[in-house]
Structure 1
Amino acid sequence: MEDKKIKQLEAKVTDYKQFGFILLSLSIFLFIGLVIPTESTVIVVPNLFIAGIFIALALAVVFHRLAMKAQKQLYEENTH
């Protein structure tokens, strides 16, 4: 029973870290696309675009905190 719980916690830590990294990469990619000027395309709603970048960054932080919480639980399970 404990082995199953440990494997689930390890999977959660891995998933949360991957989600956080993907969202961080997405927000960086979108920010670079916003900063680099192009003459052929014009962003009509830059405020919405910037809000999307900050939402992706906030979600990356949330997933990082969830990963650290699950990793702490995993550490506590292994020490007991």
Structure 2
Amino acid sequence: MGEKRVKQLEAKIADYKQYGFILLSLSIFLFIGLVIPTENTVVMMPGIFIGGVFMTLAFSVFFHRLAMRAQRQLYEDNHN
């Protein structure tokens, strides 16, 4: 496997893990905003916040799986 391909896969793995962590942090932040409301906006529109929490969690899982798939591909290519 070429050195360029290895560096590309390692960069993708790092990026996907960072995206997943940022989205997980965002979902936690939104959930805390839902649990501890300070304004009437959360009381009036809880569906939007709940949807946002689940959407960011879903994207976080998606990017985590992409990172694991790229890591598996890197491992298989290096050991063949």
TM-score scaled by structure 2?
A: 0.92
Q: Which runs of 5+ in 1 are unaligned?
A: none
Is 1:21 aligned to 2:21, yes or no?
yes
Q: Counterpart of 2:8? A: 8
Q: Counterpart of 1:59? A: 59
SS in 2 for 1:49: helix
Query: What is the CA–CA distance in structure 1 between the aligned matches of 2:25 and 2:52, rounded to whole Å?
Result: 13
The offset of 1:37, in angstroms, is 3.3
SS in 1 for 2:37: coil
The aligned amino acid for 2:67 is A
CA RMSD of aligned residues (A): 1.1
Query: What is the CA–CA distance in structure 2 between the aligned matches of 1:4 and 1:18, rounded to whole Å?
Result: 21
Q: Which runs of 5+ in 2 are unaligned?
A: none
Runs (4 or more) in structure 1 with deviation over 3 Å come to: none
Q: Counterpart of 1:48? A: 48
The offset of 1:65, in angstroms, is 0.3
The CA deviation string for residues 27-59 of structure 1, in whole angstroms up to 9 with x for no partner, is 001101110132xx1122110111011000000
